Every structure is written in C-alpha cells, then in structure tokens.
Amino acid sequence: MSDSREQAGNSTAVDGRKVNKRLDAAAYQKLYKASVSDNEGFWGEQADRIDWIKPFTTVKDVSFARKDLHIRWYEDGELNVCVNCVDRHLKTRSGQAAIIWEGDNPDQQRTISYSELYEEVCRLANAMEARGITKGDRVILYMPMVPQAAFAMLACARIGAVHSVVFGGFSANALADRIVDCQARMVITADGSHRGGKTIPLKPNVDEALKIAEQQPEGHQVRTVLVSKVSGDSVDWLDHDLWYDEFVPTHEAVHEAVPVNAEDPLFILYTSGSTGKPKGLQHSSGGYLVYTATTFSYTFNYQPGEVFWCAADVGWVTGHSYIVYGPLANGATTLMYEGVPTYPNLGRCGEVIDKHKVNIFYIAPTAIRTLMTDQKRAIGSSQRDSLRILGSVGEPINPGVWQWFHDEFGKGQCQVVDTWWQTETGGIMMTPLPYVVEPKPGAAMTPFFGIQPQLVDKRSDILEGKADGHLVILDSWPGQARTIWNNHERFIDTYFSTHDGMYFTGDGAKRDEDGHFWITGRVDDVLNVSGHRLGTAEVESAVVSHPKVAEAAVVGFPHELKGEAIYVYVIPNDGVVPDEQLTKELRDWVRKGLGPVASPDMIQWTHGLPKTRSGKIMRRILRKIAANEHETLGDTSTLADPQVVDELIDNRLNR
C-alpha cells in the first residue's frame, strides 16, 4: 500500500507559502479506500513508524460481538513507549527542543531538549523504582501543566507502570474515587498550580483524598506521594511524602527501559458516562502509540522542526495524545502552556505564538469563543505569521467561530482542521486533512484512514446517503480503548449493546449530500461544558448528597461561551425553605464534591419533577424549559402530574 510517508518532497504553494502537501484529494481517496479494504495491511505498515523490541506477527484480532468482545492489535509485539518518544530521537535530534514550556507568568519559560528529556525521565524512572513501583502498578498523576507532568507520564511508560492522570481542577472526592478504583500505589503531584495569576492547591487535595479513600471499604494502596515544588505554598507533610525536587535528582540519569507487550495498558483515563461514576478507560501501549503517531503526522501535516502547540490540559485525552505521545513519537517540538488562554489578557495566545514561532495551534472552540468576546484585544499586537495550521477539538465549532478563527486569527493563511474524537478513541477519528480535503466550517468532514463511521437509526438500521442519526464505528482501529479498568461488562454495555456489533459513540451526526459528516452533539446524558465532559448522573448524585435536598435532575442548556451549561432542578427536603443562601451553599457543595468544572450555572427549586406514570423523569421536558424553549414542549400527556410543568415554566431561570 502506498503510504505518503515515502512521498516527501513535492512542495506546492498554498496559503501564500510553500508546503509539502504529501497527499492530494485523489490520493487520499485511494489510500482511504485501501485502508478500509486492507485494514490490516494499512495498520501493519503504519506500525513501522515506531520501534519494536520484538516484532508482532499478527496485526489485528478484534470482535465487536457482544458475547466475545475483544480488541487486540499487534498482540505478540513488544516495545517501550518511552523509548519511542525519547531515546530513539537521541541519534538525530538530541539537541532539538522536545518540550517548550511557557509559564502562566509570561516571564517564565523553559526549553527541554530531547537529551535533557531523556535524563529527566530516566532519573524519575529510577526514583519510582526505588520506591517499589514496577510494571503494571498504577500511578496517579495530579499535576499542574508543568514539564514534570510529561516526565511522569513518560517515566511510567519507561518502567511499564500504568498512569492515570487526574485533571487538577477535580476535587479531593473525585481524586479519591480514582485512587481507590485503580488501586494506585503512588501519587505524583505538586504543592499547587499557577493558573490565571492565582495559585490553586493540589497537595492539600491529595491529603484529603487519601483520608477519604482510607474510609472506603477497599481502602487505598498509596505508599508514596511525590510532590513537585511549583507554587511554593507551604504544605502539610506526612510520612509517605517525598519532595520530587530533592528525591529525583539523587538518581541516575540513565535507565534501562522495561519491554512491555503491545496490549499491556499504557494508561487509564477516567471520563464521564451517562450513568454512574466515571469510568476508567484503559488504553494499550502498541496500538495507542501507532495510532497517535499516525494521526498526529497526517492531521497536522507535521514537518520536522515545526513547533506544535496543543492548548489542552494533560488531564484530558487531548493532552495525552497531542501534547505528549503523538508529538514526541514523531520527534516533534511540543509546546506546553501552564496557564489559561486569557491571562494576563486576551492577547496571550497570539503572544505565545509569536514568542515561540508556533506553526500549528490546536485549541477548543470554547476558548476561541472567549477570544471572540473582544476580538481587538484577542488579536492585540501579535503577528501570528508563523501559523500554518489551526486545529479545533472537543465540541462542535460554530461556523461563525470557525470563520473568525480562519479569517482573523489565522489571517486567512492557515488550514483549519476540525477534529472529532473521544477519550475512548485514543486519537483523531474524523477531520478534513489539511491541503487535502476542502473544509466546510463546522464539519468534521471525513474519516481518518481505516475508520468506518456510519449513521444508524434507533433500530440500528444503517442510514444511507443524506441522513441524521446515531454515530457508530463499524470496525476497530489501533487507538481504541480496550476496556474499562476492572469492568469489562460495563465496557460492553456502554459501547457495544445499543447497536449490536458496532461501537456506539454516544454522539449524533448528520451526513450531507456530499457524504461529509457534521457532529451534532451527545445523544446520551453526557454534558459538554466548555469542552469538559460531565455526566448528568454525576452532578445529580453530588446535588442529592446535600442534606437539605430530596431529589434533583440535571440537564444541559445552550450557552454562548461554554457551549453547554448546567441547569439543576432541585426538590428540597420537607420543611426546608430554599433561599439565595441555600442556592449558593448548594453550588459550593457541588464544586467541592466534583470540582469547579461542575459548578451549576442555574439552580431552580421546585416542588416536583415531570415524571411518567412509571416514575421516569422526562428529561426532554426539562431540557426544553432550561433552554427557554417551553413553547415547543411536545406531548406531556403521559406525565403522572402535568401541573408540575406549569410550575417549572413559571419559575424558569433562563429567560
């Protein structure tokens, strides 16, 4: 199969500059078709992008059948992910910047070459082993956006330990749940983090999380908490605590990497679903690395020497795949930014782009919408002429926002890639490839090589041509999550039971007359608030755990900046008279329980919720009222008590 990696050289003039397109539309079509018809051939060839310690003999062994669900790629191969991201670049680019770190404070920066990265990671790997961490052990990372977060991910990969990064914006409770669920043996954290000029405590949350975990029936297994000095805040010190900055440098800067099997887990990442607690998606070593390396190279048309900036947090899958693994597997220079895009002012992104000559910039629509609130300031005095490709991820991008990003932020000189994918998919699944597929603002357009998206109706019948339905994927790809940690049944139930024999994404999508895909958003009870994924069930259980609350229902409603915001309907306990004070208390309660990302935007107290006669809450009605669209409520005749709806409409908050 003819792969574009060998077709270097052909430079053409596009967007006012010379670029190496690598593929044209006809070549894309041809390669896409071949990648589907000879899927194993395609992925067998892409696997050459990485070094294998022991070559694999089978590419793929997959069944999406509910009774025999298994997903295996390159299953008898052995490799080390860290060696692929670090060591193998030392021969050719040891002095090249691997990571450019830009502080929250614009005066702080650090450049880490590939050889420095090697030393940092080896020291940490030795330090972790000295604390008894070995292959297969789980390590929780609860870190700010500092280089140590990347060192820690890579050091885990080097010794075969399984990392689970917990977003620094999550609360002690959320952290405790994850520590217990994956039975972590070590936590790597910092005293606190800098974001938007403020310091946010992290170590105190770890202390509290471990206390909470101790009280749970399973208890916890954490023996070491390694604390990096970042904020300089004083922290309580416990027996199991060690300062990263004192302990790690005492270890040697060389380390022999541990070979792992392609199917051994590289990481667990928790994400929200429509029911229950967050689930730990388990990703593989070999398939995941091949997939992130391949998608990074094609989607961003990465050229050697370019600077790539993904403005996500390493706590999310985007940070895993496109700050750390995808770029480093390609020997790229990845920029890691500590702060928020709007600090100290709206012009910060442009300043960082100019300062570090960023060529490729990858960000979420919610951040672009914030920049658009004051377009003049967002542009500021920056030139942004180094930019070649702009990427969008995490939620649907409104066509007007796409246009501004392209015309104004990118000065009409950049290709825009709207990339659709999920924590579960490990890497980008749909995107218009730059210079190849002519994008339509707001559309994820075309599948990546080897990916077979399809639309189905509620009966799982495949919809042909122009259509609107549930988005499913018909066959596996190497980056697919293999299971839910410790809960394979839940993995099968969640993703393979709605539509038999297919992976169900939880998203709805449309296909237009040209065969291009437009993602319309979640069709399940998952919210997407500022690009952060939250389950309504999680927020509901945090609300009802308040002693003055009897019952609650949570829905999302459209929000100009956040994309979606959180609307909570609450029934107080008998005798409780809700007032502003209680509303504030409840909001703080949820923030403390889940983290600031889950803070409810609107809290409406009510005497009842719209339920069917069998007691099921009709969320469709609640969504309409929250969106101020009660005029189009539809049929309410099946409700047990239709009057409840009148009360809800009369007292609605979003007008």
> Which helix H or strand E contains 244, and what residues bound it?
helix 244-247
Q: Is 372 in the site for ligand PRX (CB under 6 A)?
A: no
Q: Which residue's CB is nearer to ligand PRX, number 539 or number 644?
A: 539
Helix (H, G, I), strand (E, B) or coil at 28: helix
Q: Is 507 in the site for ligand PRX (CB under 6 A)?
A: yes
Helix (H, G, I), strand (E, B) or coil at 606: coil
Q: Is 528 in the site for ligand PRX (CB under 6 A)?
A: yes
Q: Is 533 in the site for ligand PRX (CB under 6 A)?
A: yes
- How many CA atoms lie within 13 Å of 283's alpha carbon, on the beta-carbon side? 33
The pattern of x and - marking residues 427 through 466 that bind ligand PRX according to CB under 6 A reads: -----------------x----------------------
CA distance 73 to 533: 28
Beta bridge partners of 611: 617
Shortest distance (Å) from residue 619 CB to ligand PRX: 17
Q: Is 521 in the site for ligand PRX (CB under 6 A)?
A: yes
- For residue 405, what are its two tokens? 């990003």
346-361 residues labelled b (16+ CB within 10 A) or e (exposed): bbbbbbbbbebebbbb
- For residue 71, what are its two tokens? 């997903």
Query: Contacts for 89-94 with beta carbons within 8 Å, 24 or more apart?
Result: 89/114, 89/328, 89/331, 90/114, 90/115, 90/118, 92/331, 93/331, 94/118
Shortest distance (Å) from residue 595 CB to ligand PRX: 14
CA distance 284 to 47: 14
Q: Is 604 in the site for ligand PRX (CB under 6 A)?
A: no
Q: Is 419 in the site for ligand PRX (CB under 6 A)?
A: yes
Q: Which residue's CB is nearer to ligand PRX, number 202 or number 481?
A: 481
Q: Is 366 in the site for ligand PRX (CB under 6 A)?
A: no
Q: Is 394 in the site for ligand PRX (CB under 6 A)?
A: yes
Q: Which stretch binds ligand PRX (CB under 6 A): 139-147, 256-264, 391-399, 453-461?
A: 391-399
Q: Is 423 in the site for ligand PRX (CB under 6 A)?
A: yes
Q: Which amino acid is at 457?
A: D
Q: Which stretch binds ligand PRX (CB under 6 A): 173-181, 394-402, 598-606, 635-643?
A: 394-402
Shortest distance (Å) from residue 539 CB to ligand PRX: 16
Q: Which residue's CB is nearer to ligand PRX, number 235 or number 594?
A: 594
Q: Which stretch binds ligand PRX (CB under 6 A): 111-119, 190-198, 504-512, 643-651?
A: 504-512
CA distance 451 to 299: 14
Of residues 224-283, those binding ligand PRX (CB under 6 A): 271
CB 323 within 8 A of CB 290: no
Q: Is 506 in the site for ligand PRX (CB under 6 A)?
A: yes
Q: Which residue's CB is nearer to ligand PRX, number 370 or number 505?
A: 505
The pattern of x and - marking residues 284 through 323 that bind ligand PRX according to CB under 6 A reads: --------------------------------xxx-----
Phi, psi of 10 (to 5 degrees): -60, 85
Q: Which residue's CB is nearer to ligand PRX, number 363 or number 379?
A: 363
Phi, psi of 441 (to 5 degrees): -55, 120
Q: Which stretch binds ligand PRX (CB under 6 A): 16-24, 52-60, 388-396, 625-633?
A: 388-396
Residue nearest to ligand PRX (CB): 423
Q: Which residue's CB is nearer to ligand PRX, number 3 or number 507?
A: 507
Pick the closest to residue 287 from 174, 108, 425, 184 (CA basis): 425
CB 607 within 8 A of CB 647: yes
CB 236 within 8 A of CB 204: yes
Q: Which stretch binds ligand PRX (CB under 6 A): 105-113, 520-528, 576-584, 587-595?
A: 520-528
What residues contact 361, with CB distance under 8 A and at least 6 apart?
309, 311, 349, 353, 387, 389, 390, 391
Q: Which amino acid is at 275?
A: T
Shortest distance (Å) from residue 598 CB to ligand PRX: 14
- For residue 517, what are its two tokens? 């895909």
Q: Which residue's CB is nearer to ligand PRX, number 19 or number 317?
A: 317
CA distance 287 to 548: 48
User: Given the rule CB under 6 A, which residues bind ligand PRX?
Assistant: 271, 316-318, 393-396, 418-423, 444, 505-507, 519, 521-522, 528, 533
